[in-house]
Structure 1
Amino acid sequence: MSAVQEAGNLPPVRRLGQPTMLAYGAGAVAYGVKDFGFSTFLLFFFNQVMGLPASQVGLAILCALMLDAFIDPMIGTLSDRTRSRWGRRHPWMYASAIPIAVGWLLLWNPPALGQGAMLVWVFALSVIVRSAVSAYEVPSQALSPELSADYDERTRIMAYRYLFGWAGGMAMLVASYAYFLAPYPGQETGLLNRESYVGFSIAGAVAMAVAILVSALGTHHEIAHLPKPVIAQQSIAGHFRELGETVRNRAFLILMGAGICFYSAQGISFSLSNYLYTYVWGMKGGDFVALAGALFLGVVGAFVIAPRVARRVGKPVAAMAFMAGAAILIGSPYALRLLGAFPDPSSPAMLPLLFTIFGVNATCSVSSTILGASMMADVVEHSEVDTGRRSEGVFFAGGFFVQKCTTGIGIFASGFILSGIGFPEGAKPGTIPAATIDLLTIIFILLYLMLGMGAAYLYRRFPFGKAEHDARIGLATNG
């Protein structure tokens, strides 16, 4: 009998039914909507629409991120130690829906304020939204290793989660570009119309609240099957000692390092995306809708491909290969453009080629994140052997904190880059000097390639695979 089995906390080794998978995955729509809103529009809105300096907006959001360093682990630990007739995770999931919706509405509809007060508004509302999202996302992610202990089923669970998360984000992106932020007659872009963000914020708030409640209700019947480890009373000092023992796990630290690299690169990419799409490629209203479609096709590709490749070569090798591919693909059209080898924006071949590359890049990058999250689920039993404790909430709180680097470190770095190269506020397409555009492009390529390859290297260093996991939970390996 394995050490995990002896602890009596092993989840069932099973394949989940389709209704449970769909309900669990649906909750990720909330994070997808929030993440694309923060990463793609937040810096742009407060910089280009509200007129705040990009570097100061980035700093305000980074300061909000620093609070997450305390909030996320606290929520993860409290979730692990919650005891109720609704289990450990569901009370948090139900309670988060309304605060997320209210915080989101307030963030995008600030009152008339001076520059200093507006920066405080950005900081305060970012903290509220982030904290409310953490109160849902950390317990919800912590459910994934509890639903099944099967090594390959965990990848399938995460594939559904990321499919719904990206679907929510892409749907919101399409709705934003095609409807909420569509240009008025005679305009080339509607992204600069402040009043358009009212409908954008209402739609996002409703979508997030509904997704959370659907997921919580749809997985409620699983509460009876989830592990119920005994939690002993302890002092505050004892609590922090246990937390330190847990997060020193080598496999966890490797995934945290890989996540910091990848999600920081993704954060820079997302927060600069509207600048790159608008000022480098000259994209307009309908182009953004087509782009969102291409990206979502890439996500569907990841949903299909990632579990199959992982079964064949193992999660660490697959995650490394997908991440390296993503790093090379995202920069290739920009590098080719600088070399004069990519079609000009006036060419009819430019957008189809660009969208094809971006779609394949989405397949690679999303596949790597699916596999990273699946490996994080496997760390739970790896740690339990050493500590005797199941700490799903703590591990996924760490992973979720790293994910939020996409909107913290990414937005801060992007704001710093834009200010450093002298990118003007409220700029119209076609008015930015070519040297400024080229410099922005070069910095973006180098940063993403460096961070992406760092993530690929760390994924490959993950210390165990299927055979070790199956042995740990007491299953006979089948090769």
Structure 2
Amino acid sequence: MIAPAAAVTTVPRSVRLGYGVGSFCTATVGAVPGLLLLYYMTNFLAVPAWLAGVVVTAPKVWDLVVNPLVGRWSDRTRSRLGPRRPWMLAGALTLPVAFFLVFAGPSLRGVPAALYVGACFMAAATAYALFEVPYKAMPGEMTHDYHERTSLLQWRMIFIGAGTAISGVLAPAIAGSQGAQGTLASYRMMGLTIAVILLLAMLGAFFGTARAPMTGAPEPDRGGWREQFAAIKGNSAFLWITVLACTQMLAVSMMLAAAPYFAAYTLGDPRSTQTLFAALVGPMLLTMPLWVRLARRFDKRGAMILAALMFGGGTAAAMATPLFGALYAHVAILLVGVGIAGVQLLLFSMLADVVAADAAETGKRRAGVLTGLWTAIESGVSSFGALIFGIILSIGGFVESEPSRPVRQPESAVTAVLIGQTTVPAVIIFISVLITLKYRLRPPAAPAPAASG
């Protein structure tokens, strides 16, 4: 149960907008590497599929170390900019450079190319942690109100939808602007364009949150790592929301990694990646008010179950794409998008509830540690989506290639693409429905009416 607050803090609209624009960073860093990096390595740098999966996954393991550290540092930071914003600024000044270098390397092939991309992606993951961990910690400290947090995060999700649309449609369009599959030069141009978008979005969030209210506990938790981890271990709501996020984002990351392969080998048109993404993210822009109302009507847990069922149902339906064609695939992905919109809004809102409840119960500021651990674990586990998909491709006999030497994939590899895009993610999502039932945090009870004289 979330402790009732003495007063409700309403977040100003300007701050909601300023906070929300930072989600362009979240959306872009999640979508572009998840969508294009595996494909870029296997089809442009001649990296074997299993090794490319390792490269995408390995830097995320580093998140398990750096994210809790950044969260702890931001909890303990004292500055005129507040505890979170100095770290956001550091990330804004470093992530765009590292991101560009991931797609702008020298002319390498095979293992050397994998090592270069892995090193740059590791640097990008570190810079992203500097921004994202403090950024995610802020909503739980802006307001005490259970439903106000969902309303605040609605703006974040609208910007995530817009950012995902821009990155998921624009990035493949630029990458494929020179030929059906693109060239190394077009991928470099894509990296530069997305880096500029990242810089503008992160600086926008830094300046836009200058007037953000801070209602969290005034004193940071000075306990050591052992004490903090022991306290978190006893926080069942935090543990279950973390397991839930890991499960759902594992399915999302698999589908992102599989999308260009699904477009190229199941639909027969690599450029349909853009229209599939439009179908996926369109509901994020249109259905957020609906999910806010559903969360009030059925509570957040009930709305989460509904969202996951829609997500999993659309994913399972896409298995029939070879029978019904491209239009059917887009309709199925549209249903997936409606479900993902609810899942992501409710995940972040429930995390903010957990952070606020922890501060109310302990009297300590450790939102950074909580969100750092949550982000690290969720990001680390979800990154295995690309690795799992890469393994599925290898089992199916997928043959790596270069643009100058295209190959015809065996039928087993085409089948592996369909399984990795639909069957396996659908099973994972349906498992997440069962996990949601273990989440017990509820809104505070309304105060009893005062007795009349």
Shift of 1:384: 3.4
Map of 2:287 onto structure 1 = 302
Give the Cα separation in 2 of the matches to 1:111 and 1:146.
44
Task: State how far apart, in whole Å, the 2-side matches of 1:385 and 1:228 are.
Answer: 8
Which amino acid is the alignment partner of residue 291 of structure 2? A
Q: Match of 1:212?
A: 202
User: How far 1:116 moved relative to its partner?
Assistant: 3.4
Amino acid at match of 2:316: G
The C-alpha deviation readout for 1:56-76, integer Å capped at 9, x for no partner, is 121133221211111111111
| DSSP-derived class of the 2:184 partner | coil
Q: Which amino acid aligns with 2:61?
A: M
Q: What residue in structure 2 maps to residue 312 of structure 1?
A: 297
Task: Please say if 1:419 is aligned against 2:413.
Answer: no
Q: Structure 1 residues 290 and 63 mapped into 2: Cα distance closer, same or farther (>3 Å)?
A: closer
Which residue in 1 is equivalent to 2:343? 368
Contact 2:219 2:365 survives alignment (8 Å): no
Aligned to 1:68: 63
- CA separation in 2, counterparts of 1:194 and 1:204? 15
CA distance in structure 1 between the partners assigned to 2:33 and 2:69 by the alignment? 23
Cα separation, 2, equivalents of 1:290 and 1:38? 18
Deviation at 1:98, TM superposition (A): 1.6
Aligned partner (choices 15, 32, 41) of residue 10 of structure 2? 15
Matches within 5 A, 1:114-133: 115-133=110-128
Matched with 2:31 is 36
Offset from partner CA, 1:78-110 (integer Å, 9 cap, x none): 111111111110111111112101101111111
Query: Aligned runs of 1:219-298 on 2, under 5 Å?
Result: 219-222=209-212, 225-227=214-216, 229-231=218-220, 238-285=224-271, 287-298=272-283
Is residue 251–residue 382 contact of structure 2 (8 Å, CA) maintained in 1?
Answer: no
- Distance in 1, Cα, partners of 2:145 & 2:67: 27
Q: 1:257 to 1:304 in 2, by over 3 A?
A: same
Change (3 A) 1:124 1:44: same
Report if aligned partners of 1:11, 1:148 keep a CA contact under 8 Å in 2. no
CA distance in 2, matches of 1:143, 1:41: 30
SS in 2 for 1:222: coil
- What TM-score does the superposition give when structure 1 sets the normalisation length? 0.87
Contact 2:140 2:355 in 1 (8 A): yes
1:380 and 1:33 map into 2 onto residues whose CA distance is 25
What's 2:418 paired with?
441
Paired with 2:407 and 2:112, the residues of 1 have a C-alpha distance of 33
Partner of 1:454: 431
Over 3 Å counting, the alpha-carbon distance change for 1:96 and 1:436 in structure 2 is closer
Structure 2 gaps, min length 5: none
**Residue pair 2:396, 2:415 contacting (<8 A) in 1 also:** no
* Matched AA of 1:210: L
What is the deviation of 1:22? 0.9
SS at match of 2:212: helix
Residue 441 of structure 2: aligned partner: 464
Q: Is 1:24 equivalent to 2:23 in the alignment?
A: no
1:366, distance to aligned residue in structure 2 (A): 2.0
1:41-440 mapped onto 2 (5 Å cutoff)? 41-113=36-108, 115-178=110-173, 180-184=174-178, 187=179, 189-191=180-182, 193-222=183-212, 225-227=214-216, 229-231=218-220, 238-285=224-271, 287-334=272-319, 336-337=320-321, 340=323, 342=324, 344=325, 350-351=326-327, 353-405=328-380, 408-426=383-401, 431-440=408-417
Aligned equivalents of 2:263, 2:377: Cα separation in 1 = 26
Between the aligned residues of both structures, percent identity stands at 23
Structure 2 letter corresponding to 1:221 = R
Shift of 1:169: 2.2
* Cα 1:406/1:46, change in 2 over 3 Å: farther
Q: Residue 247 of structure 2 contacts residue 382 of structure 2 at CA under 8 Å; is this kept in 1?
A: no
**Shift in CA distance, 12/406, structure 1 to aligned 2, threshold 3 Å:** farther
C-alpha distance after superposition, 1:231-273 (max 9, x if no partner): 4755xxx343223312431001101111111111111110011
- The residue identity in structure 2 corresponding to 1:38 is P
Partner deviation per Cα, 1:111-168 (whole Å, 9 max, x = no partner): 2346433222222211111111111011011001111111111112222112212311
SS of structure 1 residue aligned to 2:98: helix
User: Cα 1:19–1:12, aligned 2, differ >3 Å: closer, same or farther?
Assistant: farther
CA contact (8 A) 2:47 2:109 kept: no
Using the TM superposition, give the Cα deviation of residue 170 of structure 1 relative to its aligned residue in structure 2, in angstroms: 1.4
Secondary structure of the structure 1 residue equivalent to 2:100: helix
Counterpart amino acid of residue 277 in structure 2: A
Aligned amino acid, residue 181 of structure 2:
G
What CA distance in whole angstroms lies between the structure 2 residues aligned with 1:3 and 1:417?
43
- 1:39 and 1:407 in contact (8 A); partners too: no
Contact kept, 8 Å, 1:57 with 1:122, in 2: the verdict is no
Which range moves more in the overlay, 99-108 or 290-299? 290-299
Structure-1 separation of matches of 2:360 and 2:136: 21
CA–CA distance in structure 1, aligned partners of residues 53 and 270 of structure 2: 26
Scaled by the length of structure 2, the TM-score of the pair is: 0.91
